[in-house]
Amino acid sequence: MELTLPSITHNNAQILGILGWLLLASLTVVRATDAQQLDEPGLGTLSAEPLAWARSIAPSGSRRQVVASLAAALLRRGWREEDDLTLDANAAFEQRAGNCVSFALLLADLARSRGVPAVFVIRGPDLARGPEIGDRRGDLQVDRSHLAVGLEGPDELVVFDLAGSHRATSDYRRVSDEEALGIFYSNRGAALLLEGRESEAIVVLREATQRAPALVSSWLNLGVALLRSQEVEGAEAAYRRAVALEPESVAAWRNLALLLERRTHETD
């Protein structure tokens, strides 16, 4: 039997054209929404105002003096420290606010604009063993990671953060720009979680695991977001990844145990 397609009339063509336009528009909206959620912070993208400000604050001096002057001046401008506020460098400068990650991104960009090779550092032998800054609201643990700016010298590593500057101890280590951005996304995802915005948090936290796959807090927070979105298998996989990265993480083991206990009760 031979099948024939119905002829497309002028009206049908118009309808198909409208449907195609609506489909394209919906895809465009989805892409725009995803881009807005991710809100790429970037590095080396400071606007003219903070760049001019940096030139006026630290026109010359040794590398350490330049970074110290910039850090002190940022605090003198009036810095509102908020643990759950993870901003990109331009927004942090404009709002004079943010957590340690916001401060580090801004300070590193300002220092680099003055020709100083500032780097990012965390405390701990690796990303997985970084300090857990926990926030338990409800039945699950959400973690944030600490980030600071470092200046490497011949014999020492100097650390700059919201608490001031000090010589790094042996448990500090340098992280790449990409890993620093992973910490940015992980902390922003944690903030979204604490606001109850799980679907947005999932998008941001998946980006964090891509940027810094060894960052245990990203996997832990992703597990929380997935579990609250009823994606139990994905949550379990994320928790198990966190445990594999850091077998001593109390938060990861606790969240995994709660998930398995809940699953046992549901099957009984």
Is the residue at 35 inside a domain? no
Q: Which domain holds residue 177?
A: 42-267
pLDDT at 15 over 60: no
Query: What is the sign of the dihedral through the CA atoms of 215, 145, 133 and 172?
Result: positive
pLDDT at 126 over 80: no
3-state secondary structure of 145: coil
Q: Determine the Cα–Cα distance for residues 195 and 85; give it in Å rounded to an integer.
A: 12
Which residues of the chain form beta strands (DSSP E)? 80-81, 97-98, 119-123, 133-137, 140-144, 148-152, 157-161, 164-167, 172-175
| Total number of domains in the chain | 1
In contact, 196 and 102? CB cutoff 8 Å: no
pLDDT for 185: 92
Percent of the chain residues past pLDDT 90, beyond the cut: 53
Q: Determine the Cα–Cα distance for residues 245 and 109; give it in Å rounded to an integer.
A: 30
DSSP secondary structure letters along 13-66? HHHHHHHHHHHHHHHHHHHHHHHHHH----SS---HHHHHHHHHH-SSS-HHHH
- What's the full length of the chain, in residues? 268
Is the residue at 171 inside a domain? yes
Residue 83 tokens read as: 């643990």
How far CA 206 is from CA of 144, 224, 239, in Å, comes to: 15, 12, 13
In contact, 39 and 185? CB cutoff 8 Å: no
CA Rg, the chain, in Å?
23
Is the residue at 86 inside a domain? yes
Range with top average pLDDT, 50-64, 91-105, 155-169? 91-105
Is the residue at 235 inside a domain? yes
Comparison of pLDDT for 145 and 172, the residue scoring more: 172
Which of the 8 DSSP states describes residue 207?
H
Q: Once rounded to an integer, what is the mean pLDDT over residues 184-202?
A: 90
Q: Once rounded to an integer, what is the mean pLDDT over residues 116-140?
A: 63
In contact, 99 and 84? CB cutoff 8 Å: yes
pLDDT at 3 over 80: no
Percent of the chain residues past pLDDT 70, beyond the cut: 76
> Sorting pLDDT into bands at 50, 70 and 90, what band is 142?
low
Range with top average pLDDT, 15-29, 38-52, 219-233? 219-233
Which of the 8 DSSP states describes residue 147?
-
Whichever domain contains 208, its CATH number is 1.25.40.10
Is the residue at 244 inside a domain? yes
Is the residue at 80 inside a domain? yes
Is the residue at 3 inside a domain? no
Q: Determine the Cα–Cα distance for residues 76 and 79; give it in Å rounded to an integer.
A: 7
pLDDT for 169: 86
Q: Determine the Cα–Cα distance for residues 59 and 61; give it in Å rounded to an integer.
A: 7
> Sorting pLDDT into bands at 50, 70 and 90, what band is 61?
confident
3-state secondary structure of 85: coil
pLDDT at 7 over 80: no
C-alpha dihedral, 6 to 7 to 9 to 13, nearest 10°: 80
Is the residue at 109 inside a domain? yes
Q: Once rounded to an integer, what is the mean pLDDT over residues 58-62?
A: 77
